[in-house]
Amino acid sequence: MQDVVEKVYEQVVARNRGEAEFHQAVREVLESLDPVIAKHPHYAEDGLLERIVEPERQIMFRVPWVDDAGQVRVNRGFRIEFNSALGPYKGGLRFHPSVNAGIIKFLGFEQIFKNALTGQGIGGGKGGSDFDPHGKSDAEVMRFCQSFMTELSRHIGPDTDVPAGDIGVGGREIGYLFGQYKRLRNSYDAGVLTGKGLAWGGSLVRTEATGYGTVLFAQSMLATKGDSLEGKKVAVSGAGNVAIYAIEKAQQLGAKPITFSDSSGYVVDEAGVDLELLKQVKEVERGRVADYVSRRPGARLVTEGRPWDVPVNVALPCATQNELDADNAATLLRNGCAVVAEGANMPCTPEAIEAFQAAGILYAPGKASNAGGVATSALEMEQNAGRTRWDFATAEAKLTGIMADIHNSCVEAAETYGRPGDYVLGANAAGFTQVADVMIAHGIV
């Protein structure tokens, strides 16, 4: 079966040249599926591997807009509608200068399996632009979002493709995008976007969901060893939505997060992160981590290295792809780290993952551990369809149950295919088989 997997991977590289992140994501999934294909050869015989690595639709478009100085700017927009076997395409929009076709493909491919694991009938997709909202005025962001949605609106809908936020796309951007969609369609399709404001169809817990879910998954992993997060020191990277609410949930469960970061460096706060101050700096003031340090006695800013240099029990990479490499992994292991749960998408390099698995520590891939965000997006879609709203406790209870189910699915799949405790195999096998079985049922489409 290894020859079959390698052949498919070579085809992916040949067809998608220069798209290193996409190649990495595909290889990670395909390599772990070898025991699945060996046990169920019909997946290979039916061309499932070749079909699942090829997007159903790839959309790329020009996004012209005018800045506050009257200068015309042009960005590039993307939407990769990767797989709709289980339901409408579902996945975020990322606005960041690093965005290109390969980045969006890798994110969309990961989204297929992540969404399948939630059990909520949603397919995989992703989108975004190389537009950078950082430093732009609200008016500039609005004009960009309106231009972006003018084209994107042709391709999305509550039963077709439901985008959400990602890096660079928060409540402000979702609001502008939805307003333009509503104007163009003359229809209040609340379910066309998720991550909306509470006053116009948003869901409680959606803001917190990805960070909360990552920590809940880590807690479930520790429970398999008769342990918990109580009293554990935690390193978190990032200072955005995922990182902030991972810190919040970790504190609620008795852990002590002591780091966070942004592009200017990372903060070490040995007394434990002051969550309210962090929220004020990042969510209200849109400031930098240095602003936190200037107002927090005892905290220090480190401008070289990464949060993984700090001795901790648990690491939660919540920033971006490939932020934790083999050297960082070696440092974490040397310092006694026993749990790594990914809050970002593919934040650990293949070499780092290999080191964690060789050491036998608890390691969770993002498609499992950070699925809480898209799970709660699907809960938002459910509320929109019923024109109802749940209270915070109800929504959080549903998220907690979904994360427990995802954890259990990963554990069971890993055991089924002969690798108990291997969450990478477990997540990929559980997600793949759900999608593959439905693709077979739908025929060659």
pLDDT tens digits, residue range 212-260? 999 999 999 999 999 999 999 999 999 999 999 999 999 999 999 999 9
Asked if residue 408 belongs to a domain, the reply is no
Q: How far is CA 69 from the centre of its chain?
A: 35
Q: Does 114 show up as a binding residue in the annotation?
A: yes
Indicate the pLDDT class of residue 1, thresholds 50, 70 and 90.
low
Last residue of a domain, one of 125, 152, 187: 187
Q: Does 313 show up as a binding residue in the annotation?
A: no
The answer to pTM > 0.85 is yes
The verdict on 231 and 362 lying in the same domain is yes
Indicate the pLDDT class of residue 118, thresholds 50, 70 and 90.
very high
What pLDDT does 17 receive? 96
Asked if residue 12 belongs to a domain, the reply is no
What pLDDT does 287 receive? 93
Nearest Cα to Cα of residue 137 among 73, 183, 182: 73
Distances (CA, A) of 357 to 263, 339, 347, 362, 364: 28, 11, 15, 8, 10
The verdict on 177 and 280 lying in the same domain is no
Last residue of a domain, one of 153, 187, 221: 187
Reported as half-sphere exposure (CB side, CA atoms, 13 A), residue 192 has a value of: 21
DSSP 284: I
The verdict on 227 and 354 lying in the same domain is yes
The verdict on 240 and 365 lying in the same domain is yes
Average pLDDT over residues 160-175: 95
Helix (H) or strand (E) holding 268: strand 265-268
Q: Does 377 show up as a binding residue in the annotation?
A: yes
- Using CA atoms of 380, 410, 23, 107 in order, give the dihedral in degrees to the nearest 10: 10
Indicate the pLDDT class of residue 149, thresholds 50, 70 and 90.
very high
d(CA 380, CA 196): 9
The verdict on 237 and 328 lying in the same domain is yes
Write the DSSP string, 172-231. Answer: HHHHHHHHHHHHHHTS--GGGSSS--GGGT--TTTTTHHHHHHHHHHHHHHHTTT--STT
Question: Tokens 């052949």 label which residue?
Answer: 7
Q: Looking at residue 296, which CATH number applies to its domain?
A: 3.40.50.720
Residue 5 has pLDDT above 90, yes or no: no
The verdict on 75 and 168 lying in the same domain is yes
Average pLDDT over residues 78-106: 97
| Segment 291-303, tens digit of pLDDT | 999 999 999 999 9
Q: Total domain count for the chain?
A: 2
Asked if residue 203 belongs to a domain, the reply is no
Asked if residue 199 belongs to a domain, the reply is no
CB 218 within 8 A of CB 312: no
Asked if residue 160 belongs to a domain, the reply is yes
The token duo for 422 is 């291997």
| Segment 308-354, tens digit of pLDDT | 999 999 999 999 999 999 999 999 999 999 999 999 999 999 999 99
Q: Does 241 show up as a binding residue in the annotation?
A: yes
The verdict on 156 and 214 lying in the same domain is no
Q: Looking at residue 162, which CATH number applies to its domain?
A: 3.40.50.10860
**Whole-number percent of the chain with pLDDT over 90:** 97
The verdict on 100 and 214 lying in the same domain is no
Is 233 one of the annotated active-site residues of the chain?
no
Q: Does 279 show up as a binding residue in the annotation?
A: no
The verdict on 106 and 222 lying in the same domain is no
Asked if residue 18 belongs to a domain, the reply is no
Q: SS3 of 79, please?
A: strand
Q: Residues 6 or more apart from 57 whose CB is under 8 A from it?
A: 80, 81, 155
Q: Which domain holds residue 246?
A: 209-369
| Segment 49-81, tens digit of pLDDT | 999 999 999 999 999 999 999 999 999 999 999
The verdict on 171 and 224 lying in the same domain is no
Residue 436 has pLDDT above 90, yes or no: yes
Catalytic residue among 7, 39, 105, 126: 126
Asked if residue 440 belongs to a domain, the reply is no
* DSSP alpha helix (H) spans, 311-369: 326-334, 350-359, 366-369
Asked if residue 101 belongs to a domain, the reply is yes
